[in-house]
Amino acid sequence: MPRKPRPRPATHVTLAEVAQATGVSAITVSRALNTPALVAEALRERILQAVEQMGYVPNRQARLLAAARSQTVLVLIPSLTNTVFIDVLAGIDAVLGPAGYQILIANTHYSADEELRLLRSHLEFKPDGILVSGLAQSPDCRAWLDRHGLPTVHLMDLADDGRHCVGFSQLAAGRALADHLVASGRRRIAFMAAQLDERTLKRADGWLAALTAAGLDVAGLRFDDPAPSSMALGAAMLDRILDARPDCDAVFCCNDDLAIGALARARQRGIDVPGRLAIAGFNDLQPAAWTAPALTTVATPRERVGLEAARMLLDLIAGQPPAAPCVDLGFELKLRDSA
């Protein structure tokens, strides 16, 4: 007795078979799936019902080959645990997802060598464009970006060399917060920094510019730690600062994680904040408004950076250069109770 032929897997159902089953042309089926407004509603419903019943799956590879695009975008970010970049990714996804793009996320761990390795390996997927955090790529990384000529937009900072970027001035934001501390009467303002990435270093430059312009002494008031930022590190670094400089009357923390840890340690030590010691952070993460006292900080437009950078990249991919290569979204001082 001859064996019954095995049913074909649903993934092997072709567009032509769907067309045959519905009594229309393959072009009509394709229109119903890709440009449904061009197909009458009743016919479109009949085709979609056949697609569902037969388990037809469009051949993405063939479609992309025809379009000469991969419909993917490479996103190079330094951390998948830092809320700052999670917010940026949310903005990117809100634009690229509805546009039909898949996101290739590469975590560089704040390492220039890892950034270069990930860029080289992910170029095998032929992304249509690249979103990359910051401006301080290594010369080798810059060379690879230039060599492949893919549309590229830089995130979270501003360039003055023609590179496409969306962000705000880290230096200006750092100076604005330090200026506030100076204007409030603080004279021995320490800078607390962790991770020591390019954005942190620019905030430190802003702190230094503000104190120098005010004629204040900065000697012995900068405290750096290359370890990853955390609330625990903020608490430990406050101890270090007060042991070295008991006369310190304000601490500018390079991010809110450190500042929240410093606030907790000040409370444990019975230090009056802001009476005896002002403490300020950076980024305005959600907990900042709920600390005791509420944290003075700088609000940064993280999700908007992702949104606008993704929109700029889509324009570049489509061959439509933006009106300006650099989009400054600004920042906002959040003056609360801690400083």
Q: At what angle do helices 302-317 and 83-96 cross, to 10 degrees?
A: 40
Mean pLDDT taken over the chain: 92
Give the max Cα distance, the chain: 99
Which amino acid, one-letter code, is at 242? L
In the predicted structure, residue 5 carries a pLDDT above the cut 90:
no
Between 22-26, 106-110, 277-281, the lowest mean confidence (pLDDT) is in: 22-26
Q: Give the helix ranges, DSSP H, for the chain.
A: 15-22, 26-34, 41-54, 60-67, 83-96, 112-122, 139-148, 170-183, 198-213, 231-244, 256-268, 302-317
Answer whether residue 98 shows pLDDT above 70: yes
- 70-168+303-330 and 170-299 share one CATH topology? yes
Pairing of strands 332-334, 297-299: antiparallel
Give me the pLDDT at residue 147, please. 87
CB contact at 8 A, 216 and 156: no
Q: Residue 76 in 3-state DSSP?
A: strand
Q: Are 315 and 329 in contact (CB under 8 A)?
A: no
Q: Which long-range contacts (CB under 8 A, 24 or more apart) does 322-325 make?
A: 322/164, 325/159, 325/162, 325/163, 325/164, 325/165
Report pLDDT for 74: 97
> Predicted confidence band at 329 (pLDDT cuts at 50, 70, 90)?
very high
Average pLDDT over residues 279-303: 97
Q: Mean pLDDT lowest for which of 1-10, 77-86, 172-181, 260-269? A: 1-10
Report whether CATH 1.10.10.10 matches the domain 70-168+303-330.
no
pLDDT score of 273:
98
What pLDDT is attached to residue 230? 96
Residue 281 has pLDDT above 80, yes or no: yes
Strand-by-strand arrangement of the 165-167 sheet = 102-107, 72-77, 129-133, 152-155, 165-167, 326-328
* Contact assessment for residue 85 and residue 78, using Cβ atoms and an 8 Å cutoff: yes
Q: Inform me whether the pLDDT recorded for 6 exceeds 60.
A: no
- Of all residues in the chain, what percent carry a pLDDT higher than 70? 94
pLDDT of residue 122: 93
Q: Is the per-residue pLDDT at 141 higher than 70?
A: yes
- The string of pLDDT tens digits covering residues 193-224 is 999 999 999 999 999 999 999 999 999 999 99
Q: Is pLDDT at 2 greater than 80 in this prediction?
A: no
DSSP 3-state of 139: helix
Could you tell me the pTM of the whole model? 0.80
Regarding beta strands 189-194 and 326-328, do their DSSP bridges make them parallel or antiparallel, or are they unpaired?
Answer: unpaired
CATH assignment of 170-299, given 3.40.50.300, 3.30.565.10, 3.30.200.20, 3.40.50.2300?
3.40.50.2300
Question: How high is the pLDDT of residue 59?
Answer: 63
For residue 317, which of 143, 122, 124, 74 has the smallest C-alpha distance? 74
**Where do the domains of the chain lie?**
10-58, 70-168+303-330, 170-299
pLDDT in tens, 28-79: 888 888 778 788 889 999 998 988 888 887 765 555 554 567 899 999 999 9
- Tell me the C-alpha distance between 194 and 257, whole Å: 10
Token duo for residue 179: 């200026």
Count CB-CB contacts under 10 A for residue 81. Answer: 8
Give residue 87's pLDDT.
97
Q: Is the pLDDT of residue 27 over 90?
A: no
Q: Does domain 10-58 have CATH number 1.10.260.40?
A: yes
